[in-house]
């Protein structure tokens, strides 16, 4: 007999629908025995240049048939000056706003007709952050609950946010997104010996030196030293740029060196730097538009490379 009430199947399905954005009828048709145990991935990024890449990679997974959830925290509230108002009515209203729990909000970024009915891409904002300072245990508890709900109904949960702290016990895979000026480096500009004018010269690099330079440049500023699933490099190319033509054997040797030290090079992505100003502003204000736009060169192959290592 199906259990009724607040903990019954219908009630659980409705609560999950509100939290994940999945259709209620879909959840009711899904047997509990087929519940997912999705992976949680966090991209560690180095700045705005690669801010849209998690959306693009997640969209590539969804187009491959995976159910993907992009999980955000609500932005922290700005200081409400009404909290310090001389009027009691304003102070009470401001306090009520501060204490309010907004609840999860979900948006379907790629609809089934865009994915041929196979995958799913949902963006969810969840208030897991505990506003009381110092309550780190409560913060982790709420985040863990949000991730567990996501794991149960999605194949991949991407923990979003540049400033999100790392929680080793909650995340399965960390991937470093590194923005490079020249892609895989094949040469380095070094000062000339005994040159008082500060001139430099380009010195060719060996594959081992190239791999070491990638690690030194991008791991040195990594604020969260964790075991990484791998590194993704990305470069911005503008019109008129002459791309470096690297020897395929050189690139292969660099990748072998990276893999040998436990930091595989999962892919290289070329970003288009001459988008019109309107497109750039739109993606800065709403980076989720990157999910519906055509993927940058190398995104699909990179998404597949990450998936093969799971």
Tokens of 308: 């093969």
- What's the pLDDT at 66? 94
Contact 89, 177 (CB under 8 A): no
What is the phi-psi region of residue 87: left when phi exceeds 0, alpha when psi lies from -120 to 50, beta otherwise? beta
pTM (two decimals): 0.77
The pLDDT assigned to 239 comes to 66
- Using only C-alpha atoms, the chain has a radius of gyration, in whole angstroms, of 23
* Alpha carbons 146 and 73: distance in angstroms, whole number: 10
Q: How far is CA 219 from CA 22, 65, 214, 268, in A?
A: 38, 33, 8, 17
Question: Using alpha carbons only, what angle is made at residue 155 by residues 151 and 156, rounded to the nearest 5 degrees?
Answer: 80
Determine contact, residues 178/53, Cβ cutoff 8 Å. no
Residue 222 zone, left/alpha/beta (φ > 0; ψ -120 to 50; rest): beta
pLDDT at 254: 95
CA 202 vs. chain centroid, Å, equals: 35
For 115-119, the CB contacts below 8 A with 24+ separation are 115/62, 115/63, 115/65, 118/65, 119/61, 119/62, 119/63, 119/64, 119/65, 119/66, 119/67, 119/68
Contact 154, 101 (CB under 8 A): no
- Tokens at 9, concatenated: 């199947």
Q: What is the pLDDT along the chain (310 residues), one digit of tens a residue?
A: 444 555 555 665 665 555 555 555 555 555 443 456 899 999 997 677 888 899 999 999 999 999 999 998 876 555 678 888 899 999 998 888 777 766 678 889 988 778 877 899 999 988 776 544 445 555 677 888 889 999 999 999 999 976 556 667 889 999 999 998 778 888 888 776 666 666 788 889 999 999 999 999 888 877 777 889 999 999 888 766 666 678 889 999 999 999 999 999 999 999 887 655 566 667 767 778 889 889 999 999 999 999 999 8
CA dist., res. 7 & res. 222, Å (int): 44
Find the Cα–Cα–Cα–Cα dihedral 275, 277, 283, 285, rounded to 10°: 170
DSSP summary character for residue 165 = P
């Amino acid at each position: 007999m199906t259990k009724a009430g607040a903990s019954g199947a219908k009630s659980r399905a409705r609560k999950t629908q509100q939290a994940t954005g999945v259709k209620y009828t879909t959840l009711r048709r899904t047997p509990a025995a087929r519940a997912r145990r999705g992976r949680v991935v966090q991209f560690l990024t180095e700045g705005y240049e690669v801010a849209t890449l998690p959306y693009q990679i997640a969209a590539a997974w969804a187009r491959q048939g995976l159910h993907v959830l992009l999980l955000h925290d609500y932005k922290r509230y700005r200081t409400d000056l009404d909290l310090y108002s001389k009027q009691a009515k304003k102070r009470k209203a401001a306090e009520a706003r501060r204490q309010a729990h907004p609840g999860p909000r979900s948006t379907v970024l790629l609809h089934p007709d865009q994915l041929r009915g196979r995958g799913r891409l949902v963006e969810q904002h969840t208030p897991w952050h505990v506003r009381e300072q110092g309550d780190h245990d409560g913060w982790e508890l709420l985040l863990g609950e949000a991730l567990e709900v996501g794991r149960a109904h999605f194949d991949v949960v991407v923990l979003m946010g540049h400033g999100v702290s790392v929680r080793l016990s909650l995340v399965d895979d960390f991937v470093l997104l590194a923005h490079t000026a020249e892609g895989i480096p094949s040469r380095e500009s070094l000062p000339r010996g005994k040159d008082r004018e500060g001139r430099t010269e380009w010195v060719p690099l060996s594959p081992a030196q190239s791999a070491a330079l990638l690690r030194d440049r991008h791991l040195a500023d990594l604020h969260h030293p964790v075991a990484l699933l791998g590194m993704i490099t990305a470069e911005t190319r503008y019109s008129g740029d002459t791309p470096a033509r690297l020897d395929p054997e050189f690139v292969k040797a660099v990748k072998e060196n990276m893999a040998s030290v436990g930091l595989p090079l999962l892919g290289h992505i070329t970003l288009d730097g001459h988008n019109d100003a309107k497109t750039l502003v739109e993606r800065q204000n709403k980076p989720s538009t990157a999910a519906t736009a055509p993927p940058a060169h190398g995104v699909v192959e990179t998404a597949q490379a990450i998936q093969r290592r799971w």
